Amino acid sequence: MKAKASIVEPHSYSISELAREFDITTRAIRFYEDKGLLKPERRGQTRVYSPEERVRLKLILRGKRLGFSLDESREIIDMYDPAHGNVEQLQRLLERIVQKRMQLQQQLRDIESLMGELDEVEVRAQAALVRSREDDTS
């Protein structure tokens, strides 16, 4: 394990370091690579991640927590340009947040409606069970 760490430069990260830092599996990181979201440098069999790739991974995971699809996250992350203040990225992120909030509010209304329907069915089923037991004892 120490041999691999010595290959990685001070301002770069190994896949296992990132996995530990973000509490995810190396397989998850490789999945993001396969999807083209991360592009680590390769040195032989070793993946070497730059600080920029670390930030991309952090943004991918943040997007996931916020409920964004990988494609939505990619769109926002691909606009990331620290040299130019990220105005376009932030505007797009705000648009996505509004869309996501509307979607979640609709899902919440749907869930509340379903919960109400379940309550009604439960009351009817309990009443039918009571009637059925009363009929059986008569």
All domains of the chain in start order, with CATH? 2-78 (1.10.1660.10)
Q: Check residue 83 and report its DSSP letter.
A: G
Q: Which two tokens stand for residue 16?
A: 């296992």
Alpha carbon distance 56, 37 (integer Å)? 8
Alpha carbon distance 77, 66 (integer Å)? 14
pLDDT tens-place values along the chain, 138 residues long:
444 444 555 689 999 999 999 999 999 999 999 999 999 998 888 889 999 999 999 999 999 998 889 998 888 787 766 666 678 778 888 888 899 899 999 999 999 999 999 999 999 999 999 999 888 887
Give 3-state DSSP helix, strand, coil % of the chain, rounded to 5: 75, 5, 20
